[in-house]
A and B are shown apart, each in its own frame.
Chain A
Amino acid sequence: MASKTAKTSTVPFADAPINASLTGEQKIDLLRTMVRIRRFEQTSLKYYHDGHIGGFLHLYIGQESVAVGSISLLGENDHVITAYRDHGHALAVGMGMDECMAELFGKKTGCSKGKGGSMHYFAPDKNYWGGHGIVGGQTPLGAGLAFALKYKGLKGCCLCYLGDGAINQGAFHEALNLAALWDLPVIYIIENNGYSMGTSQARSSAFPKEGLAARAEGYNMAWKKIDGVSLYEIRAGVQEAVARAHEESKPTMLEIMTYRHKGHSVADANAEKYRTKEEIQTYMNEHDPIEFWKNVLIGEGVITEEDYKAINKEAGAEAEASAAFAIKSPYPDESEIFDDIYWEVDNNTEAGRTGRHFFHG
């Protein structure tokens, strides 16, 4: 629970080596990244309502600690892939607000040149492989990224995120079997926010009493359930899995308990019908990962309330600036419709010049 008087010694997992080694500056960076994600999301919601953004917008507000805590552990051969609620992971791997916001606005300057939208952010230069729209569809790809690392003899892992609603997709179970069968260094992180869109976990999933991740037992795979409110607990839990992947080339299934403050997407009109207002309020008041971490850092004497306000203000200004950047950016040109379909065509290779590739008109 968040506590305004939290002390290091009373915060679980603060003493885990991976956390004890954090400098004050690193702890502030974690806070800053979470706050930046929230302000980005709040700003995108505002511009969505103003009609600047089309289609879906799945907000990460409330879940920030999951991406920030886990991604903060990664090194040069570690990779990330996620589903459609992908803005938090994108900012956590180091993508800029400008390119991310411009993508939402459908602009040429977006990270996917306006071709992917909210659900499809990619940054391979930051080991970030999307951003995938089909529930569970990214889970075999995550196994594949891990397969590639193992094949190349690299000491790395792939963090593959999915929601609790994705655990019933067949592709996920097939990926789990392959990961365990072939000792792939993939870490499946179930971000359990309790709802697969408007259907509660109780109404959608059959699982052992220990939790969703306990299904891993069926694949002889290590698993752990983690309270997602605390970065310390997330980092301690995920680090074990990263070490297992790096040292033993073994997969892990993690279930990180979290909560989304908003609906499934902006189009989710029933977000306050399938969940009680009291439930939402309780999570916002008592399980907010940013509020929690802020209090931990104040308790540790790393920051003051004034510092936090400054971080928040700075992040808000950055988000607003990214919206301004997006607004003034041009839309893609119609001529770009046929770019980025075939690598060989884009690179004007002999293969790309051989035969007709496109058939309209």
Chain B
Amino acid sequence: MPREITYREALREGLDEELARDENVCIIGEEVAQYNGAYKVTEGLWKKWGDKRVIDAPISEAGFIGMGIGASMLGIRPVMELMFYSFAYVAFDQMMNNAATCRYMSGGLTNCPIVVRGPANGGTNVGATHSHTPENIFANMPGLKVVTPSNPYDAKGLIKSAIRDNDPVYFMESTVLYGMTGLVPSNDEIEGGELIVPIGKARVSREGSDLTLLAHGRAVVTSLAAAEILGAQHGISVEVVDLRSIRPLDEETIMASVRKTHRAIYVEENKPFCGVGAQISSMIMEQAFDDLDAPVLRITSADAPAFYSPPIEKLQLPTADEIVARALTIC
């Protein structure tokens, strides 16, 4: 029977299974070992796997992320935890220059099988510096992969794929989702004995015929809630497509859905300017223009730094009500 487990537990299972599968996999990050993880994602792994495999790093992101990249060139498969993905900005040169371009600049002689994972979300009243959503920034760089699981099933299946991938994968989670529960099959009920979700394949989270909500990360959850309301209260049949990864991108699933519903809204917790939705809506315009019955809309976080004050910050992020209201303007 599929078990109901949390997003956090699903990630932990994926990490644990990969630690067991390949002795070159190790976990490095701040508070990941003895403290059991700032968000308890890695809870128990240090106790089980020991100092060699699960390593507490000092607060030194440029140093330890860069170190992981160097180690990956020699065949280690480090899974680096950023306590907040906002801290990627102090490791930016390592993540953007070294991980992303060494393969190219060496004419294909090197590769960096590193995973950098951690929460990339706002909405938790921690101020602007801790609320960044850099998926668009990293997805802008050829050589990198950006993965954004929205539920426990995908969290487990995608982290396992990310660790096995031979390119750098930046894996962006959400602190708001860590406690989310969902059905995840146990290995003995899966053909092949383990849960793998390929990177680059979107999921149709909900089928519908009148409107497509495209989203990634927690915005998928918000979109599903909006779809329920639109169906129940307005008789609008909404399809929700979860990208699961920004790069590589499952263009086919996106376009197939838009061609079916003829209307699309991109929903994300990212900022609007040059956001993921900007890219996707441009692609829809180019590839499915004749299929559209309305302009593609984008719903994003407010174009401002994250507001600390809890009731105000809530208003900065996309809500189901906002999605419903915007949807009604084109349906």
Interface residues of A (CB under 8 A from B): 79, 81, 110-117, 120, 122-124, 129-134, 137-145, 147-149, 151-152, 170-171, 174-175, 177-178, 181, 339-344, 346-347, 349-351, 354-359
Contact = CB atoms under 8 A, between A and B. Distances in A.
Contact of B201 (A140, A143, A355): A355
Contact of B109 (A124, A342, A350): A124
Contact of A171 (B93, B166, B245, B249): B93
B304 interface: no
Interface string B60-90: 1011111111111111100000000000000
Contact of A354 (B67, B71, B248): B248
Contact of A355 (B74, B142, B248): B248
Given A177-B63, A344-B166, A354-B198, A140 B106 contact: no
B58 interface: yes
B206 interface: no
A355 B106 contact: no
B199 A177 contact: no
A124 B108 contact: no
B102 interface: yes
A340 B71 contact: no
Contacts of A123: 109
A147 B67 CA distance: 8
B104 interface: yes
B117 interface: no
25 contacts: A79-B74, A111-B107, A115-B105, A116-B107, A120-B105, A123-B109, A124-B106, A131-B105, A134-B93, A140-B64, A140-B67, A140-B69, A144-B71, A144-B73, A145-B70, A145-B71, A152-B76, A171-B63, A175-B67, A340-B103, A342-B145, A342-B167, A350-B198, A351-B199, A356-B251
Interface string B110-153: 11010000000000000000000000000000110100000000
A149 B74 contact: yes
A147 B75 CA distance: 11
A170 B145 CA distance: 26
Given A145-B74, A356-B249, A140 B63 contact: yes
Given A122-B109, A178-B60, A354-B201, A341 B249 contact: no
B109 A144 contact: no
B107 A178 contact: no
The number of chain B residues touching the other chain, given as a range, is 35 or more
B194 interface: no
B70 A122 contact: no
A342 B143 CA distance: 5
Pick from A122, A137, A341, A342 the residue with the most CB of B within 10 Å.
A342
B52 interface: yes
Contacts of A178: 57-58, 60, 63-64, 67
A351 B198 contact: yes
Given A174-B62, A341-B142, A356-B249, A144 B105 contact: no
B161 interface: yes
Given A112-B106, A122-B109, A148 B70 contact: yes
Contacts of B64: 140, 174, 178
A24 B102 CA distance: 39
A119 to B, nearest CB: 8
A120 B101 CA distance: 10
B209 to A, nearest CB: 25
A355 B167 contact: no
B58 A177 contact: yes
A55 to B, nearest CB: 13
Contacts of B270: none
